[in-house]
Structure 1
Amino acid sequence: MQTFNDITALQQTLAAWRREGLRIALVPTMGNLHEGHLRLVDAARQHADRVVATVFVNPLQFGPDEDLDRYPRTLPEDQRQLGERGCDLLFAPSVETLYPEGQSALTRVSVPQISEGLCGAHRPGHFDGVATVVSLLFNLTRPDVACFGEKDFQQLAVIRKLVRDQHMSIDIVGVPIARDHDGLALSSRNHYLDSEARTQASRLYQCLVDSAQRLEQGEPDEQVLAQGTQRLEAAGFRPEYLALCDAITLRPISTWQPGAVLLVAAWLGNTRLIDNLSFRS
């Protein structure tokens, strides 16, 4: 696997691959990789001849009181895992490389409406930061396909709308959530949890499963969501939302049916966890 932090070297290599007629897949990450990220590489390999991963802790998507400074940077280990998984190229730029004129002078990208509720309501500006850096990475790499995890469901929906609205010729592939043995969705932030909190954390997924079962049995959505929120609070969480939405628009719906998704975000101590369960699951 080749590793670049220079844009010119990156684009020269990608241009050579395109001249060979090779199909290129992109896997954007913030590093501190786990099995969920590596499954994105596996999926990318199924859709392309060459796989490009990026590791970039994007300051634009962190709020002023969030964990930018303590977010784990594990580039050597990330390189090892990506290489072993068959990634062909890693682009790991500095903030100065991607934002040479500084963050305040940077042209921003915003995807309205779909980015405004759920996590967007609790993390103002977050999805503008995501859309901005993803647009930039798409422009730099010009991939044929890009793979994103379904755990960050709203992020995936925002990126799909961005690609549609901008008429980008990129296939966006959503990759199913990778889960631990007890159902907890794998996340780079799980390492913030101590042993007691890690045991508690599995109840987030169980809340989704139980709520989906009750909705399938025909219980009113308002009752199911309210009681699910109460159960999370009783389990020691501080819920931000438990919502039943349309999987494409993310607008609230009232029926557990094809195209529905249950989404949850909650704090456990100082760690913010998100998860979701789609009807097809």
Structure 2
Amino acid sequence: MLVFHSKTELRSHLSSLKTKNHSIGMVPTMGALHQGHISLVNKAISENSHVVVSIFVNPTQFDNKEDLKKYPKTLDKDIQLLKAVSGIVIVFAPTADEMYEGKIKSKSFKFDGLEKVMEGEFRTGHFNGVATIVELLLRAVMPNKAYFGEKDFQQLQIIKKLVEIRKIPIEIIGCPIVRESNGLAMSSRNERLSKPVRKKAGFIYETLKSAKNEFGTKSASKVIEWVRNQFEQHPIFELEYIQITDVDTLTPLLRKQKDRKYRAFVAVYTEGVRLIDNIALN
């Protein structure tokens, strides 16, 4: 398996692969890979002749420096996992200095308000950091398609807007959430949970599924109130927010419209670990 740490060397190799029917898929990750990531890689493999998986823990998207320190870094294990998936996968594992060229700082972006709600409200500067590094990675690889999971649905919408406003000719593909056997959305952060709490954390998805049922007959405000009550009865899980929004604009739902799609989003703390999840409501 080829592993590159230099943008220049990666670009040189990719240019040598270009043929008339050549296509490159990309899966940007922060490592600590799990089956959710692998599902993205397999999707990319099925649609492209070559696949680049970037592994880079981006410092500029962490508003909490302690969270950055605790984020798992398992590059050797990640490479072995990818090697078992397919020989066509190319790993790009740069340093922060390589990606930011010595200036580790975010750019400032405006995404028509997509960046101001939910994660944007509770994590100062988060999406500036995300957009900065995603643009750098996409321009380093210039794939035909890039694949992102719907667990980070707000991030997915922002990246779609990013390539639109920056006029980057890359198709952004959203892929379904992959879940553990109890329904907990797969995340690298899950590894920081104790086994008993990780097992109980299926409660988050169960609550979202019930909220979807409630949404069929009740207003958004009633569903939000119901979800909050559920979490109050399970104090091991601290609800940071519950929001129901329009899928396209991510604006909070005030009154249902028949021709619009809606999604429910939650952020939850347990054992000092922050977990997010979401579900389509209609």
* Superposed counterparts of 1:89-168, under 5 Å: 89-104=90-105, 107-168=107-168
Q: 1:20 to 1:75 in 2, by over 3 A?
A: farther
- Superposition CA RMSD, Å: 1.7
Corresponding residue pairs, total: 278
**Structure 2 CA distance for aligned equivalents of residues 66 and 263 of structure 1:** 24
Shift of 1:259: 1.9
- Partner in structure 2 of residue 273 of structure 1: 275
> What secondary structure does 2:245 align onto?
strand
On the 8 A contact 1:215/1:255 being kept in 2, the answer is: no
On the 8 A contact 1:109/1:128 being kept in 2, the answer is: yes
- Partner in structure 1 of residue 262 of structure 2: 260
Q: Which moved more, 1:158-167 or 1:48-57?
A: 158-167
* Unmatched runs of 5 consecutive residues or more in structure 2: none
* Superposed counterparts of 1:189-268, under 5 Å: 189-216=189-216, 218-236=217-235, 237-253=237-253, 254-255=255-256, 259-268=261-270
Letter of the 2:38 counterpart: L
Q: Which moved more, 1:52-61 or 1:257-266?
A: 257-266
On the 8 A contact 1:111/1:158 being kept in 2, the answer is: yes
Shift of 1:202: 0.9
- Partner in structure 2 of residue 52 of structure 1: 52
* Superposed counterparts of 1:171-190, under 5 Å: 171-190=171-190
**Structure 2 CA distance for aligned equivalents of residues 92 and 180 of structure 1:** 27
Letter of the 2:210 counterpart: D
**Structure 1 CA distance for aligned equivalents of residues 112 and 61 of structure 2:** 16
> What secondary structure does 2:157 align onto?
helix
On the 8 A contact 1:200/1:235 being kept in 2, the answer is: no
**Structure 2 CA distance for aligned equivalents of residues 270 and 93 of structure 1:** 29
CA offsets, 1:2-51, max 9 Å, x none? 10001111000111122454100110000000000000001111221110
- Partner in structure 1 of residue 37 of structure 2: 37
> What secondary structure does 1:219 align onto?
coil
Letter of the 1:274 counterpart: I
> What secondary structure does 2:72 align onto?
coil
Q: 1:109 to 1:10 in 2, by over 3 A?
A: farther
> What secondary structure does 1:67 align onto?
helix
On the 8 A contact 1:242/1:262 being kept in 2, the answer is: yes
Letter of the 2:268 counterpart: A
- Partner in structure 1 of residue 24 of structure 2: 24
On the 8 A contact 2:215/2:281 being kept in 1, the answer is: no
Letter of the 1:4 counterpart: F
Q: Which moved more, 1:147-156 or 1:254-263?
A: 254-263
Q: 1:226 to 1:107 in 2, by over 3 A?
A: closer
**Structure 1 CA distance for aligned equivalents of residues 91 and 250 of structure 2:** 32
| TM-score of the two chains, using structure 1 as the length reference | 0.94
Give identity over the alignment, percent.
Answer: 36
